[in-house]
Amino acid sequence: MVGLVLGAFLVLLGVLSQVDEGALDRGDKVAVLPITGLIADSESVIEQLKKYAKDDNIKAIVIRINSPGGGVGPSQEIYEEVRKVRDKKKKVIITSMGALAASGGYYIACASQKIFANPGTITGSIGVIMPFVNLEDLAKKIGVRGMEVKSGRFKDTGSSMRAMMPEEKALLQAVVDNTHRQFVAAVAEGRRQPFAKVMQIADGRIMSGEQAKALGLVDSLGNLEDAVAEAGRMAHIKGEPKVVTQTKKKLSFTDLLKQEVRTLIDERMSADPVHIDYLAK
């Protein structure tokens, strides 16, 4: 009998461990979704956004950003997913900026309905950067020569082993300018400001949360709790809203292996001489 009871208890624990905590706690809620550090991948954030979008108990999402920005692609992917959840799923989405929410971090914030920042939050940095390094003189001093076989004259653009040609710089500048216009357009749309007005301050400058508010880039000054309270009010949640935070996913051996492979790929990609970022420097 004792063995049967113990076995049943263990089975119950196993079942409960597989049940989402949110499913056991009904009622209207506000989810807090953190975006922290360098934005190099969008997969986990988009996965969490989709999960919250499907949950009818979650009426609002607060995106908590502590990031200097990162890759153009991942920043744009998260931005687009936030817009989808906001417009198609009709979820209230508010951004709360922590110590730093600049460049790609601010890009993502523009997809939300309202932006909160602390007075001293570092934000802005509306700009694009494509970094390169020229090791030609150093290579000559140590007797190293670069050799490449390429299919076209622009294929080795950005090589660290030689100076950049004027036509290569013009080509890259056109890419940067185009990507910059995409950033400015996203800010102008999200903040409901004229494109030309945003362009005047879209020169890569950083600013405090207080300065950003004066320029119309931030709606209110306040902390995470203020943003959660406002999200609850906008979602018509009565009383103090229940807050849902992301639970840590239990990783299997296969998940850990995939994670390690992805890290190796990211490191290899970061070594590529040409990459473009929404990143505060």
CATH number (domain holding residue 57):
3.90.226.10
Q: How deeply is 140 buried, as exposed, middle or buried, from its count of CB atoms within 10 A (0-12, 13-18, 19+)?
A: exposed
Distance (Å, whole) CA 49 – CA 64: 13
Residue 261 within a domain: no
Residue 17 within a domain: no
**pLDDT of residue 177 exceeding 50:** yes
Residue 5 within a domain: no
Residue 53 within a domain: yes
pLDDT at 23: 46
**pLDDT of residue 278 exceeding 90:** no
**pLDDT of residue 71 exceeding 70:** yes
> Which of 62-66, 102-106, 151-155, 192-196 is the least confident region?
151-155
What's the farthest any 2 CA atoms get from each other in the chain? 84
Distance (Å, whole) CA 42 – CA 37: 12
Residue 277 within a domain: no
Task: Give this prediction's pTM.
Answer: 0.82
Please compute the mean of the pLDDT values over residues 143-152 and round it to a whole number.
87
Domain span at residue 128 reads: 25-250
Contact 96, 123 (CB under 8 A): no
* Residue corresponding to tokens 């056991």: 24
- Active site (catalytic) residues: 103, 155
Distance (Å, whole) CA 120 – CA 142: 47
Residue 259 within a domain: no
Which phi and psi (to 5°) does residue 94 adopt?
A: -125, 145
Residue 84 within a domain: yes
Contact 72, 42 (CB under 8 A): no
Q: How many helices (H) and strands (E) would you count in the chain?
A: 11, 10
Distance (Å, whole) CA 73 – CA 144: 35
Tokens matching residue 80: 């687009």
Please compute the mean of the pLDDT values over residues 243-264 and round it to a whole number.
65
pLDDT at 117: 98
What is the residue-averaged pLDDT of the chain?
87
Residue 268 within a domain: no
Distance (Å, whole) CA 278 – CA 69: 6
**pLDDT of residue 269 exceeding 80:** no
How many domains is the chain partitioned into structurally?
A: 1
For the ranges 23-32, 157-166, 242-251, the maximum mean pLDDT occurs at 157-166
Among 196, 246, 265, smallest CA distance to 63 is for: 246
